[in-house]
Copies of this chain bind each other. A is one copy, B any other.
Amino acid sequence: MKELSTEEKIVQAAKEVFTQKGYAAARTDEIAVRAGVNKGLLQYYFKGKSKEKLFKAIFEEAFLKMITRINVIFESEDTVEHKIELALDAYFDLLLENPNLPGFIVNELHTNIHAFVEEIMQKPNRPNPMPLLMQIMEEAAQGKIRPINPVHLILNVLSMTVFPFIARPLFQRLVNVDDATFMDMMRQRKAEILDFVKHAIKP
């Protein structure tokens, strides 16, 4: 099972610590401990500004993971409804595997202390919502779906999908469910959202 190289173990540990605690609260010592190695190796593999280097790599990966999935909504040549279904598939796959990715990203974007975030934002992966926006308006005009503000529709789908993972700690305490139960609920949720949206946009 564990066939990770030391470097990979370090990256993996850094991912855990950064995504759980955020940059400011992350401790390089803890990264080393979780990786099962000593601090010296962080220097060995990431010479110079090891904390920052690790963070950059991890944040960029996480960010691209999240952001490129949005493109799924736009790329296909399908109906609005089916595009939403595909988007939900893609996003829930990602989120169930990486439950604390969104919280991490949102957190670091909120406390915008990292200048390089700007660079990442300008990368080629920028999603272009325009085609889908237009398509929603077209289908609305054709009476295929109910007239609706397309920006808010997209935002609605994204909100219902991502928010529970961000509010997970709060939610779990309020309704008193353990991790496994939470994950089960989220697996159900995909179908619930699709159902909800379908009815909401039905003419």
Instruction: List residues of A whose CB falls within 8 A of some B CB.
Output: 20-25, 100, 103, 105-107, 109-113, 121, 126-127, 129, 146, 148-149, 151-153, 155-156, 158-160, 162-164, 166-167, 169-171, 173-175, 185, 188-189, 192-193, 195-197, 199-202
Known: A100-B110, A106-B106, A159-B163. 14 other contacts (CB 8 A): A20-B110, A24-B25, A25-B113, A106-B170, A109-B173, A110-B169, A155-B189, A156-B160, A156-B192, A156-B196, A159-B164, A162-B167, A163-B166, A199-B202
Contact of A170 with B22 in the complex, beta carbons under 8 Å: no
Residues A170 and B25 in contact in the complex (CB < 8 Å), given A110-B100, A155-B164, A163-B158? no
Contact of A192 with B106 in the complex, beta carbons under 8 Å: no
The residue that A112 contacts in the complex, of B23, B126, B169, B189, with Cβ under 8 A, is: B169
Q: Which residue of B lies closest to A26 (CB)?
A: B24
How far is B164's CA from A162's CA once the two chains are assembled, in angstroms? 10
The residue that A21 contacts in the complex, of B24, B106, B153, with Cβ under 8 A, is: B24
Question: Can you give 18 contacting A-B residue pairs, CB < 8 Å?
Answer: A20-B111, A21-B24, A21-B113, A22-B110, A106-B106, A106-B170, A121-B173, A152-B192, A152-B196, A155-B164, A155-B171, A156-B160, A156-B192, A156-B193, A160-B160, A162-B167, A166-B166, A199-B200
A156: chain B residues at CB < 8 Å are 160, 192-193, 196
How far is B106's CA from A159's CA once the two chains are assembled, in angstroms? 15
Question: A84 CB to closest chain B CB, in angstroms?
Answer: 13
How far is B110's CA from A111's CA once the two chains are assembled, in angstroms? 15
Question: A174 CB to closest chain B CB, in angstroms?
Answer: 7
A127: chain B residues at CB < 8 Å are 174
Residues A105 and B25 in contact in the complex (CB < 8 Å), given A152-B189, A162-B163, A163-B158? no
